[in-house]
Chains A and B, each alone.
Chain A
């Protein structure tokens, strides 16, 4: 099996989907040259400049253009270089893209994927490091996917492209260099089904995106002390697969939710509220969260490290629950 980085695997999924369906095209700032991270590099040579289109530096314009194209029958995959810049596309995404199907009584579809890159790594600082997913899960009509590894990204991106709904596809920059073998038989993965990444019986540890790796590190460390942690990757935040979490908590009776976004108003709050109702009788301890303190991501590497929640914080949260 061939080992591919997250970036290479995204490129491969795009390439294969474009070869399969002529209505799929890419647009974004510098995508013909590969974009800021080189994800789309080379695709213009294979699929032509009509299908790999550079745009002006205007997230609002890119998103509006893609929404219109999707309404007219194309399947655009656009790139917003940093999720921090999705703020500039918010009016279109929230008031147009997410609403068209509903306001047209189901007569229109907006089959488009907004690929964007998020999270903190390497001192990208306060305006290029944020985890803003919770803003988008608040909007009915949008699907929000946040893959945790290259092979997951491959299957989930294929499904996202094939879906007749607008999808925000969040790629964590810390995962870009991660390598994984790609099974030649790999296909699309279902959106809306969480995945049990590691089985355990003492605590359910819920994560998504890059935090799944951190959760697995914490689970490894805890297992050396005889604490058995079940790690679940949410895969998609909308829809949220609460059933898989309830099944796990019925076994472990404890849950920790870990994400890089600030805790306040985050995905962890949503998961905790839903689990608190759906699994109330199963819980032996409060549901706890691990997330960023309520502060911007700093530039200085030692400050960035100090702020970001890591496996140590997760270990501590788990130990407090089983202690």
Chain B
């Protein structure tokens, strides 16, 4: 199963193409930092206001036309 994991396969492919383990690990670390920051930001964000539940279904101009 692990043999067919596309992420592992891509990694093996890149290594074969001459990308170093160090480079790959640096990318992985950078992505992890980025994702940790995003998750942290989402967790700390205020819960959404129920009054906004119908927003962003249609473009603003059109939503206004619908109400009119």
What is the CA–CA distance of A104 and B56 in the complex, to the nearest angstrom?
8
**Is the CB–CB distance between A164 and B56 below 8 Å?**
no
What is the CA–CA distance of A239 and B68 in the complex, to the nearest angstrom?
11
* Contact with B59, one of A101, A104, A105, A192 (Cβ below 8 angstroms): A101
- B residues near A140, Cβ cutoff 8 Å: 57
Residue B25 at the A interface, CB < 8 A? no
From 23 to 58 in chain B, residues with beta carbon under 8 angstroms from any chain A beta carbon are 55-58
**Is the CB–CB distance between B59 and A109 below 8 Å?**
yes
Residue B1 at the A interface, CB < 8 A? no
What is the CA–CA distance of A106 and B63 in the complex, to the nearest angstrom?
12
B residues at A contact (CB < 8 Å):
55-59, 61-62, 65-66, 68
From 83 to 105 in chain A, residues with beta carbon under 8 angstroms from any chain B beta carbon are 101-102, 104-105
What is the CA–CA distance of A105 and B57 in the complex, to the nearest angstrom?
9
6 additional contacts (CB under 8 A) given A141-B58, A143-B62: A101-B56, A163-B59, A164-B62, A165-B62, A192-B62, A192-B68
CB distance from A87 to the nearest CB of B (A): 24
**Is the CB–CB distance between A105 and B65 below 8 Å?**
no
CB distance from A111 to the nearest CB of B (A): 8
Q: Chain A, 136-169, contact with B by CB distance < 8 Å: what is the 0/1 string?
A: 0000110100000000000000000001110000
- A residues near B61, Cβ cutoff 8 Å: 164
**Is the CB–CB distance between A191 and B56 below 8 Å?**
no
* Contact with B65, one of A104, A109, A192 (Cβ below 8 angstroms): A192
CB distance from A105 to the nearest CB of B (A): 6
**Is the CB–CB distance between B58 and A101 below 8 Å?**
yes
CB distance from A140 to the nearest CB of B (A): 5
A residues at B contact (CB < 8 Å):
101-102, 104-106, 109, 140-141, 143, 163-165, 190-192, 239
CB distance from A167 to the nearest CB of B (A): 10
**Is the CB–CB distance between B65 and A239 below 8 Å?**
yes
- B residues near A141, Cβ cutoff 8 Å: 57-58
**Is the CB–CB distance between A106 and B66 below 8 Å?**
no
- B residues near A192, Cβ cutoff 8 Å: 62, 65-66, 68
What is the CA–CA distance of A190 and B58 in the complex, to the nearest angstrom?
16
**Is the CB–CB distance between B66 and A102 below 8 Å?**
no
What is the CA–CA distance of A230 and B24 in the complex, to the nearest angstrom?
72
In the complex, residue of chain A having the shortest beta-carbon distance to the beta carbon of B54: A140
- Chosen A-B contacts, 13 in total, with CB atoms closer than 8 Å, are A101-B58, A102-B56, A102-B57, A105-B56, A141-B57, A163-B59, A164-B61, A164-B62, A165-B62, A191-B62, A192-B66, A192-B68, A239-B65
- A residues near B66, Cβ cutoff 8 Å: 192, 239
In the complex, residue of chain A having the shortest beta-carbon distance to the beta carbon of B62: A165
What is the CA–CA distance of A51 and B55 in the complex, to the nearest angstrom?
33
CB distance from B37 to the nearest CB of A (A): 18
* Contact with A106, one of B55, B62, B65, B68 (Cβ below 8 angstroms): B55
- B residues near A101, Cβ cutoff 8 Å: 56-59
